[in-house]
């Protein structure tokens, strides 16, 4: 079979739903003989039977159950499409495909995406998390509308992509309440030899943090490298070490994970960017992300100098 005949598939689907050719023919306004002939043609193209005939009953075969599973999905989607096309153009949901670098804290990603989610027009968000190189490849293939990143990747194609600076945040250190009380005294010297839960997702701010430690003459003891931001915080709550997270989400981190802030480090910033195809994205949701005002505080605009597109 070179090409699936959707009309035949639809007739089969209706027969399966109605339970008999006679009832399906009434719904479709076709003669039972015509519908039976169409079903036979479809079965011949599949080189297999879709139904076993038992007296007046139609029983799905294994092949029939398999085909029906796909048909259910196909015609559910066409039903949704019909509903969407009935809407006025301004009322149709706007599909937004966004890629989020795995090293960005998920709550921060939510705040960055929020301007697109509160547009007057309904938005259907498809959000994918991965490494920045994979996300950039998907953006190039037009599988994504925008990529949220915490570093500017190597852009091989001049003028094809634009980097838009977004709100960023300083970085804070957190620990269990017992540890935080001890480590606040004499900070940052108090961190010498303290256990550190390291971020293993290649987050740029973590490299900046390690450089800051070095400049302060501080050497912490890395006890774990974890690529999941939530798991790092769970370890921290259990008193297994100090961890870093953006100051902008301090209240939520402390509340959710029952930890306390040791200190905020103004010299270490988590800079964030939106990367798009071209300079002036036509997508309404992408424009909202690039130019919207996110709602977390404090806000630090990423460096304009570093945002020049290649």
Bridge partners of 275, per DSSP, are 147, 163
Asked whether 236 and 176 are in contact (CB, 8 A), the reply is: yes
Confidence at residue 282, expressed as pLDDT on a 0 to 100 scale: 82
Distance of CA 124 to the CA centre of its chain: 12
H helix count then E strand count, the chain: 11, 13
Asked whether 220 and 191 are in contact (CB, 8 A), the reply is: yes
Confidence at residue 184, expressed as pLDDT on a 0 to 100 scale: 96
Confidence at residue 24, expressed as pLDDT on a 0 to 100 scale: 92
Please provide the DSSP assignment of 171-224 as one string.
EEEEE-HHHHHHHHTTTTGGGTT-EEEEE-S--HHHHHHHHHHHHTT---EEEE
Extract the tokens encoding 88: 């006025």
Distance CA 61, CA 310 (A): 58
CB atoms within 10 A of CB 92: 15
pTM of the model: 0.65
Sequence-distant (≥ 6) Cβ neighbours of residue 206 within 8 angstroms? 198, 199, 244
Distance CA 220, CA 196 (A): 6
Q: What is the pLDDT along the chain (310 residues), one digit of tens a residue?
A: 567 889 999 999 999 988 899 999 999 999 999 999 999 999 999 999 999 988 778 999 999 999 999 998 898 888 777 766 766 677 677 889 999 998 898 889 999 999 999 998 889 999 999 999 999 988 988 889 999 999 888 765 545 788 999 988 899 999 999 999 999 999 999 999 999 999 877 788 998 999 999 999 999 999 999 988 889 999 999 999 999 999 999 999 999 999 999 999 999 999 999 999 877 888 889 999 998 765 454 333 333 333 333 3
User: Domain 91-166+272-307 class?
Assistant: alpha beta
The CATH 3.40.190.10 portion of the chain extends over: 91-166+272-307, 168-270
Query: What separation in angstroms does the CA of 30 have from each of 24, 60, 234?
Result: 8, 22, 63
- Name the fold adopted by 168-270: D-Maltodextrin-Binding Protein; domain 2 (3.40.190)
**Residue of 156, 178, 300, 291 lying closest to 236 (CA atoms):** 178
User: Domain 6-86 class?
Assistant: mainly alpha
The CATH 1.10.10.10 portion of the chain extends over: 6-86
Sequence-distant (≥ 6) Cβ neighbours of residue 226 within 8 angstroms? 197, 198, 199, 200, 232, 235
């Amino acid at each position: 079979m070179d090409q699936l005949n959707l009309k035949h598939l639809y007739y089969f689907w209706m027969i399966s739903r109605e339970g008999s050719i006679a009832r399906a023919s009434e719904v479709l306004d076709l003669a039972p003989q015509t519908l039976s002939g169409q079903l036979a043609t479809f079965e011949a193209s599949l080189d297999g039977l879709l139904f076993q005939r038992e007296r007046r009953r139609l029983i799905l075969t294994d092949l029939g159950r398999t085909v029906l599973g796909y048909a259910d999905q196909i015609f559910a989607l066409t039903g949704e499409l019909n509903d969407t096309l009935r809407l006025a153009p301004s009322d149709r949901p706007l599909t937004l495909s966004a890629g989020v670098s795995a090293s960005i804290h998920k709550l921060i990603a939510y705040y960055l995406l929020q301007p697109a989610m509160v547009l007057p027009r309904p938005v259907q968000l498809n959000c994918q998390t991965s490494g920045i190189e994979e996300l950039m490849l998907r953006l190039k293939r037009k599988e994504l509308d925008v990529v949220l990143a915490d570093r500017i990747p190597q852009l091989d194609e001049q003028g094809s992509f634009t980097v838009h600076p977004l709100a960023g945040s300083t970085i804070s250190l957190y620990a269990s309440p017992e540890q935080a009380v001890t480590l606040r005294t004499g900070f940052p010297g108090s961190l010498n030899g303290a256990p550190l839960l390291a971020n293993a997702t290649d987050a740029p701010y973590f490299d900046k943090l390690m450089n800051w430690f070095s400049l302060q003459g501080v050497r912490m003891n890395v006890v774990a490298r974890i690529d999941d931001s939530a798991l790092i915080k769970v370890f921290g709550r259990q008193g297994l070490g100090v961890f870093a997270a953006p100051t902008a989400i301090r209240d939520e981190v402390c509340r959710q994970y029952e930890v306390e802030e040791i200190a905020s480090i103004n010299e270490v910033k988590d800079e964030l960017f939106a990367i798009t195809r071209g300079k002036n994205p036509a997508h309404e949701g992408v424009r909202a992300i690039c130019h919207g005002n996110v709602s977390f505080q404090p806000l630090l605009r990423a460096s304009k100098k570093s945002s020049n597109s290649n």
